[in-house]
Amino acid sequence: MKNNERNKPKIVWLQAITCNGNTHSFLSANVNRLKLFLNSFDLIYHPSLTTDILLDDLLKKDEEIDFLLVEGAISSNKEFFQLSNQTTNEILKKLVLKSKYLIAVGSCASYGGVHKKFEQNNNILGLQEALFEHDTSTLKHPIVNLTGCPVHPEWIFQTLFSLKEYKQIALDEKGRPKEIYSYLAHHGCTRNEYFEWKVEANSFGLKEGCLFYEQGCRGPMTHSNCNKILWNDVNSKTRAGMPCIGCTEFDFPRNNMLETKKNIGIPDEVPLGVSKRAYLSIAGVAKTFKIDRLNEKIIK
Amino acid sequence: MKTVDIVERIEGEAKLVCQWNKEKISDVKIQFLNFRGFEFILKDKPALDALVYTPRICGICGQAHLKATVEALENIYKNHNEELILTKKAKLLREIGLNIEIIDSHIKWFYMFIMPDIVKFSQNNLAEYTPLKGKKWLEASMIASETIKSLALIGGQWPHTSYMIPGGVMSDPTLLDLISMQNYMDQAIIFFENSLVGIKLDNYLDFKKSEDLYKVKGDLKDFITISFENEFEKIGKSYNRHLVLGDSLSFEKGKINRKLTKNISYENIEELTLNSFDIDKSKISKEAYTWSKTALYSNNFYETGPLSRAIVQNRDFVNDIHRKYKDSMFTRILARMDELGFLLFKTKELIKQIDINEDSFIKPKVSLSDFKYGFGQSAVEACRGSLYHDIEIENGIISKYDVITPTVWNLGPGIEDKLSTSQKAIIGTDSLAKAKLILRSFDVCSVCTTH
Ligand code: SF4
Ligand code: SF4
């Protein structure tokens, strides 16, 4: 082994009950960031990327793992889900014991996500729920939840590089890094001006208008920085015209994600931290400003 | 002798259970032991939410599921004789999105899932293909992530966007967006020319005969050389029956069972569970060994995927290679990489056809919840082959959702005395390493198989 390899923190990426979406999100990372990552860490195991060892070998090895990244939900039901003849729950517990940091990659690993909706298996859990206190006693840090369906690759890089350098990262009450999840998806959306002046998008397929009033946009209630650190370097859902569906939140996926639930024409839920009454009076005032520019096509 | 082997690096995990006789595989079972229950998850959900759920069936072919869902929902309108107008622009933006995803997948598949195993059969040291470290592996992952940006421009992000909706698409790209998309395609074309085939795309697309294989340079040449050195053109043959269910500007539907028929009817599709587990334990047979179901067309097993598409569509080069080497492992892998070139060219053409003055979306006059009962079907060509969705709704709520993924066609269990496509391809092989490669040549996704 080369000398510099020895000092690189070791990463193991486990895929539990997942669609592999986080892996493909990760592989779609910014080219230079991915290179720097591969130079700075030693990804010793990933079920779809590495070839040297199999999961079974990894479980038998004594080797210490610095960062255990888990993609997907956990279950102790072997009939529905097994890897190398074991449940994801058994594998997780064995690997955690060898690891210093445990990171949930994606909403499924964090809280169960889409897969938790499979009610016939009533044993689908996020990492925190799946592990007891004694299972995690050897960890040097509380579990980090990188929510998102999928998670943005940059969130993974920032978390890993921070932990490598500073050994810890501040988490919110849901276990998510504060510096990523204190923002709302709404921050930086190119439709913000429409939101302020209550100009709704009259339909899908438009550059103009805010998607909050009709299309169900959860931007003002969703903790993520999708409009600050853009997706694939170039865009975000709301910039493109798709409402935010709140995939970084505990309650994802919700029902009727592509429409706004309303009560007598008023959105049922209002932006985080604003009282409904205050919101309604501001909205009323804003609507009285008929700003021509915002009611026209951006490009005429 | 019996061997049981776990296969990783196939987008999930499969178990390969082989029976051996005189050092050849005499019987094989491919077990997928994971089940995520998407058809159950979708039940009782509002119809439009399927647009958010189904892309999450698979992190790599999510756009195919999205397109299948949106078209199945639109089919519900059609079955009610309710007019739904879709502009050409909307149709193009959907198909371009799907094509870009296929392009991305083909690049990753060759460099991440195929070549690391193929080079093990070479006498030469081809460390450039080593995962995560080798120059070629890195270059491929870089170009894949650049390419997918062109989809993010219209979808907002990849993976898992839901930018298609009954009536059109949610985005409204500008001319500059379209140019950027062209640019990303051009970058991928340069990669195809400089790294993969070592000649100009135009010249490559002019290939007509199998002898043209010798003109290929670049990384694909490494594959061709190793294949002929190890007789990969002789293994992995199956029924040589091919099925393409999806019809689009890029692909034509049809089937080949000795001769080519363009007439495809969903009525002939059948899904069986004779050897599959069932959530209802009383229905499980003793023979059940996998979560994958069995898909048949007109009571027969068919292969689906890029090879099937190329020959149903009569694309000369692959056609001639196929005539010579049949549905071998070599032909199957080559066809997928040929499709990469074909799609790069085709997708650029499609981008050019967009008229930005057209509407992206025309709101349907009625909502899905206005229908007391509705049913719809759709089929699209995903990276791995034909994907079929079948939906029923009651008052806007999903009462049944059935998905048949490409891998179910190729890798589902055989029934009674009929071997499935991949079983037939593997039986007769003389080594486990080759059997695994044959399995991989179908582009295995256990995630999809056991949705
Ligand atoms: S969080 Fe989303 S992307 Fe991730 S595994 Fe779950 S469904 Fe897939
Ligand atoms: S579209 Fe969504 S994220 Fe954008 S401004 Fe409106 S509410 Fe905010």
Last residue of a domain, one of A131, A154, A179: A179
Range of the domain at B91: 2-446
> Within a domain: residue B451?
no
Inform me whether the pLDDT recorded for A3 exceeds 90. no
Inform me whether the pLDDT recorded for B423 exceeds 90. yes
Inform me whether the pLDDT recorded for A6 exceeds 70. no
Same domain, yes or no: A59 and A75: yes
Last residue of a domain, one of A161, A179, A197: A179
Over residues A168-196, mean pLDDT: 97
Give contacts of A17 with chain B, Cβ < 8 Å.
34, 36
Beta-carbon separation of A258 and B49 below 8 A: yes
Residue-wise pLDDT tens digits, A222-262: 999 999 999 999 999 999 999 999 999 999 999 999 999 99
C-alpha–C-alpha distance, residues A248 and A148, integer Å? 4
Give contacts of B277 with chain A, Cβ < 8 Å.
79
Residue-wise pLDDT tens digits, B102-134: 999 999 999 999 999 999 999 999 999 999 999
> Within a domain: residue A3?
no
> Within a domain: residue A216?
yes
Same domain, yes or no: A79 and A67: yes
**Which tokens is B75 given?**
């089919």
> CATH number of the domain that A264 lies in?
4.10.480.10
Over residues B362-368, mean pLDDT: 97
Supply the mean pLDDT for chain A: 95
Same domain, yes or no: A189 and A118: no
Over residues B71-95, mean pLDDT: 97
Q: How confident is the model at residue A72 (pLDDT cuts 50, 70, 90)?
A: very high
Residue-wise pLDDT tens digits, B382-418: 999 999 999 999 999 999 999 999 999 999 999 988 9
Q: ∠ CA(A125), CA(A130), CA(A133), 5° rounding?
A: 155
Residue-wise pLDDT tens digits, A30-39: 999 999 999 9
Enumerate residues 6+ apart whose C-beta is below 8 A from A28: A153, A232, B104, B144, B145, B148, B158, B159
Inform me whether the pLDDT recorded for A270 exceeds 70. yes
Same domain, yes or no: A230 and A210: yes
DSSP code of residue A162 = H
Same domain, yes or no: A140 and A276: no
> Within a domain: residue B373?
yes
| A17, A27, A89, best to mutate vs chain B, most B CBs in 10 Å | A27
> CATH number of the domain that B250 lies in?
1.10.645.10
Ligand 1, atom 7, residue with closest C-alpha? B56
Over residues A147-152, mean pLDDT: 98
Enumerate residues 6+ apart whose C-beta is below 8 A from B34: A17, A80, A81, A82, A83, B12, B13, B291, B446, B450
pLDDT of residue A21: 97
C-alpha–C-alpha distance, residues B176 and B437, integer Å? 43
Q: Is the dihedral of CA A102, A129, A92, B279 positive or negative?
A: negative
Over residues B217-243, mean pLDDT: 98
Q: Is the dihedral of CA B167, B169, B173, B175 positive or negative?
A: negative
Give contacts of A31 with chain B, Cβ < 8 Å.
142, 145-146
What's the structural domain count of chain B? 1
Same domain, yes or no: A63 and A154: yes
> Within a domain: residue B59?
yes
Q: How confident is the model at residue A123 (pLDDT cuts 50, 70, 90)?
A: very high
Range of the domain at A141: 10-179
Q: How confident is the model at residue B135 (pLDDT cuts 50, 70, 90)?
A: very high
- Greater confidence (A61 vs B336) lies with B336
Residue-wise pLDDT tens digits, B248-294: 999 999 999 999 999 999 999 999 999 999 999 999 999 999 999 99
- Helices and strands per DSSP (H, E), number in chain A: 12, 9
Q: How far is the CA of A208 from the centre of ligand 2 (A)?
A: 11
Q: How far is the CA of A240 from the centre of ligand 2 (A)?
A: 11
- Mutate which of A14, A15, A110, A114 to test ligand 1's pocket (most atoms within 8 Å of Cβ)? A114
Q: Give the least confident one: B37-41, B270-274, B282-286, B437-441.
A: B282-286
Same domain, yes or no: A175 and A187: no
Inform me whether the pLDDT recorded for A59 exceeds 90. yes
> Within a domain: residue A297?
no
Burial A235-272 (b: 16+ CB within 10 A, else e): bbbbbbbbbbbbbbbbebbeeebbebeeeeeebeebee
Same domain, yes or no: A65 and A190: no
Inform me whether the pLDDT recorded for A97 exceeds 80. yes
Supply the mean pLDDT for chain B: 96
> Within a domain: residue B349?
yes
**Which tokens is A219 given?**
């931007």
Identify the three-state secondary structure at position B361.
strand
Question: With contact defined as beta carbons under 8 Å apart, do A59 and A31 qualify?
Answer: no
Over residues B206-226, mean pLDDT: 98
Same domain, yes or no: A118 and A257: no
pLDDT of residue A2: 53
Q: How far is the CA of B127 from the centre of ligand 2 (A)?
A: 48
Same domain, yes or no: A55 and A138: yes
> Within a domain: residue B135?
yes
Last residue of a domain, one of A130, A150, A179: A179
Single-letter amino acid code for the residue at B96: I
pLDDT of residue B8: 86
Q: How confident is the model at residue B429 (pLDDT cuts 50, 70, 90)?
A: very high
Ligand 2, atom 8, residue with closest C-alpha? A186
> CATH number of the domain that A44 lies in?
3.40.50.700
Same domain, yes or no: A142 and A211: no
Residues of B annotated in the binding site, as ranges? 39, 58, 61, 403, 445, 448, 451
> Within a domain: residue B294?
yes
Over residues B10-23, mean pLDDT: 92
Same domain, yes or no: A166 and A21: yes
C-alpha distance from residue B359 to each of A41, A238, A263, A266 (Å): 47, 18, 30, 28
> Within a domain: residue A104?
yes
> Within a domain: residue B280?
yes
> Within a domain: residue A141?
yes
Residue-wise pLDDT tens digits, B290-312: 999 999 999 999 999 999 999 99
Nearest CA among B128, B104, B106, B132 for reference residue B118: B128
Beta-carbon separation of B162 and A253 below 8 A: no
Q: How far is B325 from chain A (nearest CA, A)?
A: 30
What's the structural domain count of chain A? 2
Ligand nearest to the CA of A222: 2
> Within a domain: residue B265?
yes
